[in-house]
Chain A
Amino acid sequence: MSQSFDDISAQLKGRHRRTKRLKFMSMGALALAATFLVVFIGDMIMRGYPAFQQAELHVPVTYSEQSQEIPLAAVEEDVRDLVSRGWLRQLPRDMAADASLMGQTIERWVIADDQVDQYLKGHKSHLKPRQTAVLDRMVENGTAELKFNVNFFTTGDSKLPEYAGIWSAAMGTILTLLVTLAFAFPVGVLTAVYLEEFAPDNRFTQAIEVNINNLAAVPSILFGLLGLAIFINFFGMPRSSPLVGGLTLGLMTLPVIIITTRSALRSVPDTIRQAAFGVGCSRWQVVRDHVLPLSLPGILTGSIIGLAQAMGETAPLIIVGMVAFIPDAPTAITQAATVLPAQIFTWAGEPEQAYVERTAAGILVLLSVLIFLNAAAVMLRKKFERRW
Chain B
Amino acid sequence: MQTQQIFLFFIGIVALAGLVAFFSGRSKAQRVRASGAEMYAQPDQYGWFTAISSAGPALLVGLAAVVAIATAGIDIEGMQLLIASLVVAAAGLVIGLALVKPDFHARNAIETLIRYVLIGAAMISIVTTFGILVSIIFEAIRFFQMESFWTFITGTTWDPGNSFQMAAGRGEGVESTANFGAVPLFAGTFMITLIAMLVAIPIGLLAAVYMAEFAPERVRTVAKPVLEVLAGIPTVVYGFFAAITVAPLVVDIFSPLGIEASYNNALAPGLVMGIMIIPFISSLSDDVITSVPDTMRQGSLALGMTHGETIRNVILPAALPGIVSASLLAMSRALGETMIVVMAAGMRPNLTANPLEDMTTVTVRIVAALTGDQEFASAETLSAFALGLVLFVVTLLLNMVSVVLIRRFREKYSANNL
Q: Tell which of A34, A219, A235, A282 touches B226, judged by Cβ atoms closer than 8 Å.
A: A34
Which chain B residues lie closer than 8 Å to A311 at the CB level? 234
B132: min CB distance to chain A, Å: 5
Q: Contacts A33-B282, A43-B245 hold; do A22 and B136 have CB atoms under 8 A apart?
A: no
Report Cα–Cα, A362/B129, bound state, in Å. 34
Q: Are B125 and A255 in contact (CB under 8 A)?
A: yes
B168: min CB distance to chain A, Å: 17
Is A254 on the interface with B (CB-CB < 8 A)?
yes
B295: min CB distance to chain A, Å: 21
Q: Are A284 and B110 in contact (CB under 8 A)?
A: yes
* CB-CB nearest in chain A for B274: A36
Which chain B residues lie closer than 8 Å to A378 at the CB level? 225
* CB-CB nearest in chain A for B113: A284
Which chain B residues lie closer than 8 Å to A81 at the CB level? none
Q: Contacts A218-B395, A341-B234 hold; do A43 and B118 have CB atoms under 8 A apart?
A: no
Is B353 on the interface with A (CB-CB < 8 A)?
no
Please list the residues of chain B having a beta carbon within 8 angstroms of any beta carbon in chain A.
4, 70-71, 107-108, 110-111, 114-115, 117-119, 121-126, 128-129, 131-132, 135-136, 138-139, 202-207, 209-211, 213-215, 223, 225-227, 229-230, 232-237, 239-241, 243-245, 275, 278-279, 282, 306-309, 311-312, 329, 332-333, 335-339, 342-343, 363, 366-367, 370-371, 376, 384-385, 388, 391-392, 395-396, 399, 403
Q: Are B237 and A344 in contact (CB under 8 A)?
A: yes
Which chain A residues lie closer than 8 Å to B309 at the CB level? 15, 18-19
B340: min CB distance to chain A, Å: 10
Is A124 on the interface with B (CB-CB < 8 A)?
no
Q: Tell which of B202, B207, B335, B339 touches A30, judged by Cβ atoms closer than 8 Å.
A: B207
Q: Are A27 and B125 in contact (CB under 8 A)?
A: no
Q: Are A344 and B236 in contact (CB under 8 A)?
A: yes
Q: Tell which of A16, A26, A323 touches B371, judged by Cβ atoms closer than 8 Å.
A: A323
Which chain B residues lie closer than 8 Å to A332 at the CB level? 4
Q: Contacts A27-B210, A208-B125, A221-B367 hold; do A313 and B115 have CB atoms under 8 A apart?
A: no
- Stretch with Cβ within 8 A of B (4 or more), from A112-120, A153-161, A191-199: A191-199
Is A312 on the interface with B (CB-CB < 8 A)?
yes
Q: Contacts A217-B395, A221-B388 hold; do A314 and B236 have CB atoms under 8 A apart?
A: yes
Q: Tell which of A29, A217, A255 touches B207, judged by Cβ atoms closer than 8 Å.
A: A29
B244: min CB distance to chain A, Å: 7
Q: Are A218 and B392 in contact (CB under 8 A)?
A: yes
* CB-CB nearest in chain A for B370: A319
Q: Contacts A255-B125, A314-B235, A356-B244 hold; do A225 and B282 have CB atoms under 8 A apart?
A: no
Report Cα–Cα, A348/B244, bound state, in Å. 9
Q: Contacts A29-B206, A37-B226, A314-B235 hold; do A222 and B132 have CB atoms under 8 A apart?
A: yes
Q: Tell which of A23, A229, A284, A344 touches B210, judged by Cβ atoms closer than 8 Å.
A: A23
A14: min CB distance to chain B, Å: 10
Query: Chain A contact residues (Cβ within 8 angstroms of B): what range?
Result: 35 or more
B273: min CB distance to chain A, Å: 12
Report Cα–Cα, A152/B348, bound state, in Å. 35
Report Cα–Cα, A149/B291, bound state, in Å. 52
Q: Tell which of A32, A214, A236, A367 touches B70, judged by Cβ atoms closer than 8 Å.
A: A236
Is A79 on the interface with B (CB-CB < 8 A)?
no
CB under 8 Å from chain B, chain A span 182-240: 186-187, 190-191, 193-195, 198-199, 205, 207-208, 211-215, 217-226, 228-230, 233-236
Which chain A residues lie closer than 8 Å to B391 at the CB level? 219, 221-222
Is A359 on the interface with B (CB-CB < 8 A)?
yes
Q: Are B240 and A344 in contact (CB under 8 A)?
A: yes
B326: min CB distance to chain A, Å: 13
Report Cα–Cα, A28/B207, bound state, in Å. 8
* CB-CB nearest in chain A for B120: A190
* CB-CB nearest in chain B for A341: B236
Which chain B residues lie closer than 8 Å to A30 at the CB level? 206-207, 210-211, 215, 223, 227
* CB-CB nearest in chain A for B130: A211
Q: Are B338 and A220 in contact (CB under 8 A)?
A: yes
Is A49 on the interface with B (CB-CB < 8 A)?
no
9 contacts between A and B (CB under 8 A): A15-B309, A22-B209, A33-B227, A213-B399, A214-B399, A254-B125, A312-B236, A345-B339, A363-B237
Report Cα–Cα, A215/B206, bound state, in Å. 30
Q: Are A194 and B121 in contact (CB under 8 A)?
A: yes
Q: Are A217 and B210 in contact (CB under 8 A)?
A: no
Q: Contacts A217-B395, A222-B136 hold; do A360 and B240 have CB atoms under 8 A apart?
A: yes
Report Cα–Cα, A319/B132, bound state, in Å. 14
Which chain A residues lie closer than 8 Å to B128 at the CB level? 215, 226, 251, 254
Is A265 on the interface with B (CB-CB < 8 A)?
no
Q: Contacts A33-B203, A33-B278, A208-B125 hold; do A229 and B240 have CB atoms under 8 A apart?
A: no
Q: Are B4 and A225 in contact (CB under 8 A)?
A: no
Is A318 on the interface with B (CB-CB < 8 A)?
yes
Which of A218, A332, A367: most chain B Cβ within 10 A? A218
A225: min CB distance to chain B, Å: 5
Report Cα–Cα, A244/B242, bound state, in Å. 29
Report Cα–Cα, A344/B385, bound state, in Å. 26
Q: Contacts A15-B306, A33-B282 hold; do A26 and B206 have CB atoms under 8 A apart?
A: yes
Q: Are A191 and B229 in contact (CB under 8 A)?
A: no
10 residue pairs, one from A and one from B, having the closest CB atoms: A219-B336, A312-B234, A19-B308, A229-B135, A29-B206, A26-B210, A190-B121, A194-B118, A315-B338, A30-B207
Q: Are A33 and B235 in contact (CB under 8 A)?
A: no
Q: Are B339 and A314 in contact (CB under 8 A)?
A: yes
Q: Are A219 and B203 in contact (CB under 8 A)?
A: no
Q: Are A229 and B306 in contact (CB under 8 A)?
A: no
Is A276 on the interface with B (CB-CB < 8 A)?
no
B336: min CB distance to chain A, Å: 2
* CB-CB nearest in chain A for B124: A187
A177: min CB distance to chain B, Å: 14
Is A80 on the interface with B (CB-CB < 8 A)?
no
Q: Are B122 and A229 in contact (CB under 8 A)?
A: no
Is A58 on the interface with B (CB-CB < 8 A)?
no
Q: Are B124 and A19 in contact (CB under 8 A)?
A: no
Q: Are B131 and A230 in contact (CB under 8 A)?
A: yes
A317: min CB distance to chain B, Å: 10
Q: Tell which of B71, B211, B385 touches A225, judged by Cβ atoms closer than 8 Å.
A: B385
Q: Tell which of B121, B232, B335 touches A191, judged by Cβ atoms closer than 8 Å.
A: B121
Q: Contacts A36-B230, A211-B129, A312-B234 hold; do A226 and B135 have CB atoms under 8 A apart?
A: yes
Is A273 on the interface with B (CB-CB < 8 A)?
no
Is A40 on the interface with B (CB-CB < 8 A)?
yes
Given A15-B308, A211-B125, A254-B125, 11 further pairs, Cβ under 8 A: A23-B210, A29-B207, A218-B392, A221-B388, A225-B384, A283-B111, A318-B370, A319-B367, A345-B343, A348-B240, A370-B232
Which chain A residues lie closer than 8 Å to B227 at the CB level? 30, 33-34
Report Cα–Cα, A205/B281, bound state, in Å. 30
Which chain B residues lie closer than 8 Å to A363 at the CB level? 237, 240
Report Cα–Cα, A364/B131, bound state, in Å. 36
Report Cα–Cα, A207/B129, bound state, in Å. 11
Q: Tell which of B275, B312, B388 touches A22, judged by Cβ atoms closer than 8 Å.
A: B312
Report Cα–Cα, A215/B111, bound state, in Å. 29
Q: Are A22 and B4 in contact (CB under 8 A)?
A: no
A208: min CB distance to chain B, Å: 5
Is A59 on the interface with B (CB-CB < 8 A)?
no
* CB-CB nearest in chain B for A370: B232
Q: Are A258 and B210 in contact (CB under 8 A)?
A: no
